[in-house]
Structures are given as C-alpha cells and as structure tokens.
Structure 1
Amino acid sequence: MATGLLTEDAADQIVTTCRTAIGDSLRSATYFARDDYQQLYLRDDLERDADLSTFIGHEWRGFKTAQTAYDGSELGDYNYTIRVFDNGFLIRVTNDSEGVFVTTDGLTVKDFEEVATALNSFLDSREIE
C-alpha cells in the first residue's frame, strides 16, 4: 500500500468524516489520486487482501467516463457514484485530481448523501490550498 499522499491530519479528517456519517457500517476508506492511493481505514473484521490498485484504476476511469458521458445533460453535474454489491456498498467521491472511495455495510440514501457532501467539502477545501 502506498503512503504519504495525505498529511496525518487530512487522513484523520477523512476517517472522522466517514465514521461520523456512517458509524459502525464503515468498512473501509481509501484516498486516491490518478496513480497512487492510501488506504486510511479498514475495519478490523475484514481481510487485507483487496487489490486496491485495480480498484483505483477502475474508479478513476469510471469517474472520467461518467463525467464526460453526462456532461451537459439535463441531469445536471455529476456528484458521486454508489455501487451495490452482495456484501456491501462502495461510494466514490472524486474531482479532477483526487478522490475517496468508501465501502460500507447497508446505508440509506440519506447516509450516502451525507458522506458524499462531507467528502466533497473536504476535496474542495484541498483545491483552495
């Protein structure tokens, strides 16, 4: 796993944001840029065997594809993606240079909206720095 992309404070801020919005349903949180990533949180009951580099490549390409495909549509601007799996959910919040994907147990749409809004605020604040 790559490390050092974020300061410890920024990494803690992402995890705290996710834990506040999601609680014990949070499975993992991973920060990523185009070609590097940092897993910030993995719940103790989960295996550390996921191929995160493949996930990152897919999520980055997926963001770019969705952003381009829906640009200018009547749906409005792209905000975030929720993926549904047999054993949980993945939410991806991304901008042009970085993103966060979070895996969870079951959540409501309101929970997803809350964490997406908070993570978007975090990413937006980093663009200003």
Structure 2
Amino acid sequence: MATGLLTEEAAERIVTTCRTAIGDSLRSVTYFTRDDYEQVYLREDLERDADLSTFIGHEWRGFKTAQTAYEASELGEYDYTIRVFDNGFLVRVTTDSEGVFVTTDGLTVKDFEEVATAVESFLEEREVS
C-alpha cells in the first residue's frame, strides 16, 4: 500500500524489516515526519482506534528533548527509546527529519536492539536516496 509519505516499496520494506526482526510480536508500525504520519502496519487482531496524531507529537518532542538533554553525556550518543506499557511496548527510532515507532507484545532486550538497528538502517538508506 502506497502511503503518500512512503512509496509502496518503502512501506513494505519497513514492515518486512520489523516482522523479520521480531516476528508475530509486532503490533504496529508507524512512519512519521515532523508534519505527517502514516500507520503502515496494524496487526489484524487490533483495533484502529489509537490517537496517532497525539502519539506522533509526543514522540517527536520526546526525541528532540532526549537528544538535547543527553548531548555530550558520558552515556554516549542517543540511539532509540523503549516505552513500556501494560499491554505492550513502543520502540521509537528517529532522525532529525523522520522516524518510525513500532509497537510490540513482550520482547527481550536483544529483540529491541534488533528491531531498532533494523529501523535505523531503513532510515539511513532513505537519507542516502
């Protein structure tokens, strides 16, 4: 499905990338920019009732705040965010111009690292093209 923000090929690639990294635990994939967003995947057993515009606003501000807050810290460069909820997790990977957040069922830390690395690679490829 072409989204307007992503080509059909790019939308399929990010979904395939996430499904390969975390399998059936994948709940949703949302691509976003500063100005717009598109949910490119939602697992069939879930309802399409989330307020994504509020999520996007929060995730974009959260990225900018975290990036600024931890600049030059001894922890190193900021990579990605994991949010933990009662019914799942959200992993956000963002660049200065775009991002992806992925929602999942329970995962291990290794699974989070794999999906974050895969999404980072997807975003880096988009910057080059």
Specify the alignment match of 1:121 in structure 2: 121
SS of residue in 2 equivalent to 1:21: helix
SS of residue in 1 equivalent to 2:102: strand
Q: Distance in 2 between matches of 1:39 and 1:61?
A: 19
SS of residue in 2 equivalent to 1:20: helix
1:44 and 2:47 aligned: no
Gaps spanning 5+ residues in structure 1: where? none
TM-score by length of 2: 0.97
Shift of 1:128: 1.0
Specify the alignment match of 2:89 in structure 1: 89
* Structure 1: 4+ residue segments shifted above 4 A: none
Gaps spanning 5+ residues in structure 2: where? none
Note the aligned Cα RMSD (angstroms). Answer: 0.5
Cα offsets for 1:55-89 (capped at 9, x unmatched): 00000000000000000100000000000000000
Percent identity at matched positions?
Answer: 84
Pairing of 1:44-83 with structure 2 (within 5 A): 44-83=44-83
The size of the alignment, in residue pairs, is 127
Q: Distance in 2 between matches of 1:47 and 1:125?
A: 31
Give the residue type in structure 1 aligned to 2:71: D
TM-score by length of 1: 0.97
